[in-house]
Chain A
Amino acid sequence: MKLRSALGYTAAGATVLAAVLVPFLLMGMFSKGVVALGLHVDEMYSGGPALRVIQEGAYTITIHRTVYPHMLQNEKPFVQMDWGPVSALPARVSDVVDIDGDGRPDVRVSFGVPSDAKAPLHVDVEALSGRYEAMQNAGKEKNSRLIVHVDNSILVRVPLRNP
């Protein structure tokens, strides 16, 4: 019984010591441990990693990898494209984009660029191949179908028709 008591008090003392170490050591150690797990934020939010960049005069179009929904996620697979920097965009963008890089156009994306960064955006997408869905006057309906202004880019997500 004495051994159990000694162990109990030792553990309690170690706990108090751990409390002192939390802000100086343990918290940072555990946070770094979480980062080291190599987890990533769901691409349904982040848009997936960038695959390639197309130069269009003064601005660029960044094409992201296709994002597929998990499990029962109520979204369609989509491709995100970023137009930026916003300051270099014309008042109305209308670009034909070869999303998959096969040399053939996939979509024509058209949207106005308001001078007010907080003004609502709307996009028209004309499907030039059978792979992508057309969109008319789309705003921020779903994660897989939207146009938003994030930092210095305008992001357009186009859902796939036949995943």
Chain B
Amino acid sequence: MATSVGAPRHAGPAARGMVRSLLLTLPIVLWSLVMFFHPGTSTEWQSRAAATVTAVFMTVLFFMMMRTGTTYRWRRWFFVALGLLFPVGFIHGLLVARGSMGIPVEEMIAGRTPFCFMPIPTLILPAAFTRTIAFPGSIAGTNHGIAVMAGLWLAVTLVIGKGWCSYACFFGGIEEGVAAIPKRAEIRKIDSRWRYGPWAVLLAMVLLSFALFEPAYCIWLCPFKTVTEYVAARNAVGLVQNAIFILLFVGLVIVLPYLTKKRTQCSFFCPFGAFQSIFNKTSIFEIRIDRTRCKSCVVCQNACPNLSLSKESIARGETLMSCMKCGACVDACTNHAAVWHIKGTDVAVKPERARLMFLYAAWAMAVMFGGSIIAQGVATILHFVG
């Protein structure tokens, strides 16, 4: 919290020279080579070409982060690509495996429902009290198995905490892409109470999932069922479920992000995001506001895509716990008061060092997880084009 008096202060994000930027990018080049071209990867030309394109894409974005000293807009390119290409590869996989995006009851009974990270918080109570996973998947299965996704989530969360929502989530990119389209927000005043929306949905889904012993969020509320897989509508209930998915997707992922220029599904609704906020407390990296530089202009608050800054939090020199470390506030602050920070160190003394350390960790995760999904999506497109 304290800012040491007399310490050399940060002068703001500065562009780096070409050579220095290249040197700083070198570890990511090596990491990308290991992640995309390790032994055992597919030798089909589509997969090779997709891996090459993705490796270059991820490396160039990191290079630009180093060169320009800014984070948000380069990360956004990755995140939007992830959000758009995940459904491409995933839906193609479903169509090949079962010929439909709908989950038939046979697949549920066989334990072949793909498991994503979204229902993780709602499965904890049933697992803790009855040692039962209330999800029709398989625990040890290698393809979308519950243990594989849970292990991946635990490992990535250990490294970047709530940064998951900016560097690993394969859903948020769609709304972030839509929010980037308009030049100005049509709706600029958003009631701060909407921030509690994800917590309310989380509480309701955790209790409902425990009471009904089913992944209630997946069955009733997940907007992204619209672009992944959905409950095969066998009856009126199924039709209602699918209508809810589509309405939530159109409202929260398309219309509201366009009108507000915010990630509204994440800000108002996502229970996983609320759950993941808890891990901001365990993460060593954070974003802080240097009160000695802050002019209370709230540019950072307006720039935040996730309502993670308020006047009160700015006055305290910190973000809210929902901050997903996208870097929008840091890049937007003209006074260089919003800074990357390592807990325990002095605020704003060496923020670029904090940014670099965080970005190496976060981008390593982005290349490993998101990069593989992007490559799969590109390979699918090449498969159809070629």
A interface residues (Cβ-Cβ under 8 A, vs B): 1, 4-5, 7-9, 11-13, 15-16, 18-20, 22-23, 26-35, 37-47, 69-74, 140, 143, 146, 148-151, 155
Contact = CB atoms under 8 A, between A and B. Distances in A.
A13 B131 CA distance: 36
Interface in B108-145: 108-111, 126-127, 130-140
B146 interface: yes
B108 to A, nearest CB: 6
A58 B360 CA distance: 61
B interface bracket (residues with beta carbon within 8 Å of A): 35 or more
B344 interface: yes
B109 A16 contact: no
Nearest to B136: A45
A163 B248 CA distance: 40
18 contacts: A11-B344, A13-B357, A22-B156, A27-B155, A30-B150, A30-B152, A34-B139, A34-B150, A34-B151, A38-B131, A70-B130, A70-B132, A70-B213, A74-B212, A140-B105, A148-B106, A150-B109, A151-B110
Interface of B: 2, 4, 31, 35, 105-106, 108-111, 126-127, 130-140, 146-148, 150-152, 154-156, 158-160, 210-214, 234, 284-285, 342-346, 354, 357-358, 360-362, 364-365, 368
Contact of A15 (B109, B134, B154, B361): B361
A70 B130 CA distance: 9
A99 to B, nearest CB: 19
A39 to B, nearest CB: 5
A4 B284 CA distance: 12
A155 B107 CA distance: 13
| Secondary structure class of chain A's binding surface, majority of residues | helix
A98 to B, nearest CB: 24
In terms of DSSP, what is the predominant structure of the interface of chain B? helix
Contact of A70 (B4, B111, B126, B234): B126
A8 B147 CA distance: 31
A39 B159 CA distance: 26
A4 B345 contact: yes
Given A73-B212, A146-B105, A148-B109, A35 B139 contact: yes
Given A16-B364, A41-B138, 19 more contacts: A1-B4, A8-B345, A19-B364, A22-B364, A30-B152, A34-B150, A35-B147, A37-B131, A40-B139, A41-B139, A45-B109, A45-B111, A46-B109, A71-B210, A71-B212, A73-B212, A73-B213, A143-B105, A148-B109
